[in-house]
C-alpha cells in the first residue's frame, strides 16, 4: 500500500504545535524532554498501540488491512529498537513521539491514524502499568528465592542456640534458626505487598484519552483483556489522574528495603569479631586496601545504605502527588524516575544478599559460648518460682536478687548451686536446676510460634504454604499466553 509522507509528527519530533507560532525555548526543551531511560518503555508502548489498533478497527477508523499493516510495522519497529537498529534522537520529546515518528516514516501518513482516540495521558499510564506488572513478577521471584534461602539456612542451623536480644541486650536463649526464620517471615509479607501492587496495576487506563474519555470507542474491555488487564478503570479522570498504583509498588519496595536493612544489620553484627556467629564466604566479601587481615561485609552494608533510597523513592512520589489538581499533570512524569530506581535497586540487592546468606557458614561453638551470657536464663528461674504458686511479681523480685548475687560473684544463673538458690529464697529447691539449661529454656517455648526445636519444622512448612499462596498472584497463566 502506498502512502504519502505527510504525518502527524512535526519535524522536531513533537506530537503538538499547530497552534503555536514560535518554537519552544531551548530551556523548555531541556526540561520537557524525557530522560533517555524513559524510552525503555518502547516495548510496552508498542504493545498498547497494537491493542489500540483493534479498537480503531472496531469503530471504523482503520480498515482491517490498515490495522494489519500498522501492527506489523510496529512489531518491526520494536525489534529494531531492541536490537539498536533504530534509536530516539534528541528531537524526540518522549517515547510516544519517537515511535509514532518511526511508524510514519515507515508506512506514511496512514501511521498518523493511530493517534485517534487516545492521548499521551492514558498512554503513559498504560506503559508504566505494563512495565510494572512485568517487573513486579521478576522482583517477586527474586524475593521468593531469598525467603526460601533463609528458610533453608534456618534448617541448616539445627539446634544451635544463641542469645535473643531486646534493646540489643541479652534477653532469652533462642534457636539461631528461629531468628533466621523471623527474617524470612517479614520478607514473605513483602511478597504479599508486591501481590497487592500487582493487583493495583491490573486495571487498564486506555480509553480515557486526555481525561474525558474517547469518542472512538469500540470495546474497551476487549482492549484491556488483550493487554492482560483484569478490567478497565471505571472513571476516565481517575485513569489519567492517579498514580497510587506506582505508590503501591514503591511502598512494597520501601518495605523490602527496610526489612533487608534489618537483616543486613544483624548479618554485620553476627560476622563481627565481637559476635563471631557466622563466617563470610570469600566470594561474597571484600578486603581492605591497608589492613590485610580484614574481611568486610560489603554486601549487607551496601544493602543497608541503599534501603534509604528505596524509602526516599516512596516519599518522593508521595510528595509529587500531594498538591496537584485531580487530572493529568506533567508532575507525574517523575513516577518513572522513582519506579525505575526502585526496580534497579531491588535487582542489585536481592541477588547479592541471597548469595551472602546462602554461602555464610555458622560457628555454633561461638553461639554456645554466648547463649547464656547476660543472664539469659533468668526468666527460667522466675517462671519456675511462679509455677510453685508464688505470684510472678514476687518471683521477678527473687530472680532479680539472684542476678545481683551472680554479678557480685562473676558467674551466670546456671552456675548457682541449690544451696546458693535456697539462700536467696528458701522456697527454691534443687528441682529448679534441671530448668536452668539452654536446652530446657528453648524446648519449653513450644507454643505454635515459639523457639522450641519441635516447632521449627511446622513453622517452616506453614511459611512455605503462605509463600505459595502469595506467589499465585504473580504471572497468572492467562497473561503468559
Q: CA 373 to CA 276: how far, in whole Å?
A: 14
Q: CA 166 to CA 297: how far, in whole Å?
A: 24
Looking at the structure, do residues 383 and 335 belong to the same domain, yes or no?
no
The answer to the question of residue 321 being in a domain is: yes
Give which of 427, 447, 445 is closest to 435, Cα–Cα.
445
What are the distances in angstroms from CA 338 to CA 13, 41, 49, 247, 251?
26, 14, 25, 9, 11
Looking at the structure, do residues 262 and 168 belong to the same domain, yes or no?
yes
The answer to the question of residue 398 being in a domain is: yes
Looking at the structure, do residues 396 and 361 belong to the same domain, yes or no?
no
Non-local (6+) Cβ contacts of 426 within 8 A are none
The answer to the question of residue 192 being in a domain is: yes
Looking at the structure, do residues 360 and 396 belong to the same domain, yes or no?
no
What are the distances in angstroms from CA 398 to CA 374, 384, 385, 393, 414?
17, 11, 8, 9, 15
Give which of 178, 238, 96 is closest to 455, Cα–Cα.
178
Looking at the structure, do residues 105 and 150 belong to the same domain, yes or no?
no
Residues 106, 109, 114, 120, CA torsion sign: positive
Identify whether the C-beta of residue 210 lies closer than 8 Å to the C-beta of residue 119: yes
Looking at the structure, do residues 388 and 426 belong to the same domain, yes or no?
yes
| Number of structural domains in the chain | 3
Range 174-177 contact pairs with CB under 8 angstroms and sequence separation of 24 or more: 174/442, 174/445, 174/451, 175/442, 175/451, 175/453, 175/456, 176/277, 176/362, 176/364, 176/367, 177/153, 177/456
The answer to the question of residue 451 being in a domain is: no
pLDDT of residue 17: 59
β-strand pairing of 278-279 with 203-204? unpaired
Q: What CATH code is carried by the domain that includes residue 414? A: 1.10.40.30
Among 323, 340, 367, the domain boundary falls at 367
Looking at the structure, do residues 407 and 431 belong to the same domain, yes or no?
yes
Q: What CATH code is carried by the domain that includes residue 174? A: 1.20.200.10
Backbone torsion region of residue 335, taken as left when φ is above 0, otherwise alpha when ψ lies between -120 and 50, otherwise beta:
alpha
pLDDT per residue as tens, the chain (481 positions): 444 444 455 555 555 456 666 777 888 888 888 999 999 999 999 999 999 999 999 999 999 999 999 999 999 999 999 999 999 999 999 999 999 999 999 999 999 999 999 999 999 999 999 999 999 999 999 999 999 999 999 999 999 999 999 999 999 999 999 999 999 999 999 999 999 999 999 999 999 999 999 999 889 999 999 999 999 999 999 999 999 999 999 999 999 999 999 999 999 999 999 999 999 999 988 888 788 788 899 999 999 999 999 999 999 999 999 999 999 999 999 999 999 999 999 999 999 999 999 999 999 999 999 999 999 999 999 999 999 999 999 999 999 999 999 999 999 999 999 999 999 999 999 999 999 999 999 999 999 999 999 999 999 999 999 999 998 989 764 454 3
242 labelled catalytic: no
Looking at the structure, do residues 198 and 312 belong to the same domain, yes or no?
yes
Choosing from 167, 215, 289, 323, which is the catalytic residue?
A: 167
Among 116, 150, 180, the domain boundary falls at 116
The answer to the question of residue 263 being in a domain is: yes
Q: CA 405 to CA 46: how far, in whole Å?
A: 76
Cell output for 349: 540487592
The answer to the question of residue 11 being in a domain is: no
pLDDT of residue 1: 40
Looking at the structure, do residues 154 and 91 belong to the same domain, yes or no?
no
Q: Across the strands, what pairs with 361?
A: 279
Query: Which one-letter DSSP state was computed for residue 19?
Result: T
Q: Write down the H helix ranges in 388-452.
A: 392-409, 418-424, 438-443
Evaluate if pTM is beyond 0.85. yes
Looking at the structure, do residues 312 and 183 belong to the same domain, yes or no?
yes
Q: Across the strands, what pairs with 203?
A: 231
Identify whether the C-beta of residue 404 lies closer than 8 Å to the C-beta of residue 127: no
Looking at the structure, do residues 319 and 356 belong to the same domain, yes or no?
yes
Identify whether the C-beta of residue 71 lies closer than 8 Å to the C-beta of residue 53: yes
Q: What CATH code is carried by the domain that includes residue 96? A: 1.10.275.10
The answer to the question of residue 402 being in a domain is: yes
pLDDT of residue 4: 41
List the domain range (segments joined by +) for residue 407.
378-440
Give which of 402, 352, 404, 361 is closest to 381, Cα–Cα.
402
Choosing from 32, 109, 272, 288, which is the catalytic residue?
A: 288
- Containing 166, the helix (H) or strand (E) segment is strand 161-166
183 labelled catalytic: no
Among 84, 116, 148, the domain boundary falls at 116
Cell output for 318: 508521595
pLDDT of residue 24: 79
Looking at the structure, do residues 299 and 244 belong to the same domain, yes or no?
yes
Q: How far is Cα of residue 242 from the mean position of the Cα atoms in its chain?
A: 21
The answer to the question of residue 21 being in a domain is: no
pLDDT of residue 9: 53
Amino acid at each position: 500500500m502506498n502512502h504519502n509522507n505527510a504525518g502527524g509528527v512535526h519535524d522536531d519530533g513533537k506530537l503538538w504545535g499547530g497552534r503555536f507560532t514560535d518554537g519552544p525555548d531551548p530551556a523548555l526543551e531541556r526540561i520537557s524532554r524525557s530522560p533517555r531511560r524513559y524510552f525503555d518503555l518502547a516495548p510496552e508502548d508498542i504493545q498498547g498501540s497494537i491493542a489500540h489498533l483493534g479498537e480503531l478497527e472496531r469503530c471504523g477508523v482503520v480498515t482491517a488491512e490498515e490495522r494489519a499493516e500498522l501492527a506489523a510495522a510496529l512489531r518491526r519497529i520494536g525489534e529494531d529498537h531492541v536490537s539498536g537498529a533504530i534509536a530516539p534522537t534528541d528531537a524526540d520529546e518522549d517515547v510516544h513521539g519517537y515511535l509514532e515518528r518511526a511508524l510514519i516514516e515507515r508506512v506514511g501518513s496512514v501511521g498518523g491514524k493511530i493517534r485517534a482516540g487516545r492521548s499521551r495521558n492514558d498512554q503513559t499510564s498504560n506503559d508504566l502499568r505494563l512495565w510494572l506488572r512485568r517487573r513486579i513478577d521478576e522482583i517477586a521471584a527474586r524475593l521468593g528465592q531469598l525467603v526460601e534461602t533463609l528458610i533453608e539456612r534456618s534448617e541448616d542451623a539445627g539446634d544451635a542456640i544463641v542469645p535473643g536480644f531486646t534493646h540489643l541486650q541479652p534477653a532469652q536463649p533462642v534457636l539461631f534458626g528461629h531468628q533466621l526464620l523471623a527474617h524470612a517471615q517479614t520478607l514473605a509479607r513483602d511478597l504479599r505487598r508486591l501481590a497487592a501492587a500487582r493487583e493495583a496495576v491490573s486495571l487498564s487506563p486506555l480509553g480515557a484519552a486526555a481525561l474525558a474519555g474517547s469518542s472512538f470507542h469500540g470495546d474497551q474491555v476487549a482492549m484491556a483483556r488483550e493487554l492482560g488487564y483484569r478490567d478497565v478503570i471505571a472513571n476516565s479522570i481517575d485513569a489519567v489522574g492517579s498514580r497510587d498504583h506506582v505508590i503501591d509498588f514503591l511502598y512494597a519496595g520501601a518495605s523490602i528495603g527496610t526489612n533487608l536493612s534489618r537483616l543486613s544489620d544483624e548479618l554485620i553484627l553476627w560476622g563481627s569479631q565481637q559476635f563471631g556467629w557466622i563466617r563470610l564466604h570469600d566470594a561474597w566479601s571484600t578486603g581492605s586496601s591497608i589492613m590485610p587481615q580484614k574481611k568486610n561485609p560489603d554486601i549487607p552494608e551496601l544493602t543497608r545504605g541503599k534501603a534509604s533510597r528505596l524509602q526516599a523513592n516512596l516519599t518522593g512520589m508521595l510528595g509529587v502527588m500531594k498538591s496537584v489538581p485531580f487530572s493529568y499533570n506533567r508532575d507525574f512524569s517523575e513516577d518513572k524516575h522513582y519506579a525505575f530506581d526502585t526496580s534497579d535497586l531491588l535487582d542489585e540487592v536481592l541477588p547479592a544478599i541471597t548469595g551472602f546468606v546462602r554461602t555464610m557458614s555458622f560457628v555454633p561453638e561461638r553461639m554456645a559460648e554466648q547463649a547464656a551470657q547476660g543472664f539469659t536464663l533468668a526468666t527460667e528461674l522466675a517462671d519456675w518460682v511462679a509455677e510453685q504458686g508464688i505470684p510472678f511479681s514476687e518471683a521477678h523480685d527473687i530472680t532479680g536478687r539472684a542476678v545481683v548475687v551472680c554479678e557480685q560473684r562473676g558467674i551466670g544463673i546456671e552456675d548457682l548451686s541449690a544451696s546458693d538458690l535456697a539462700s536467696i529464697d528458701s522456697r527454691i529447691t534443687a528441682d529448679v536446676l534441671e530448668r536452668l539449661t539452654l536446652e530446657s529454656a528453648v524446648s519449653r517455648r513450644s507454643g505454635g510460634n515459639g523457639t522450641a526445636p519441635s516447632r521449627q519444622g511446622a513453622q517452616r512448612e506453614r511459611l512455605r504454604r503462605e509463600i505459595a499462596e502469595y506467589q499465585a498472584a504473580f504471572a497468572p497463566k492467562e497473561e503468559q499466553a
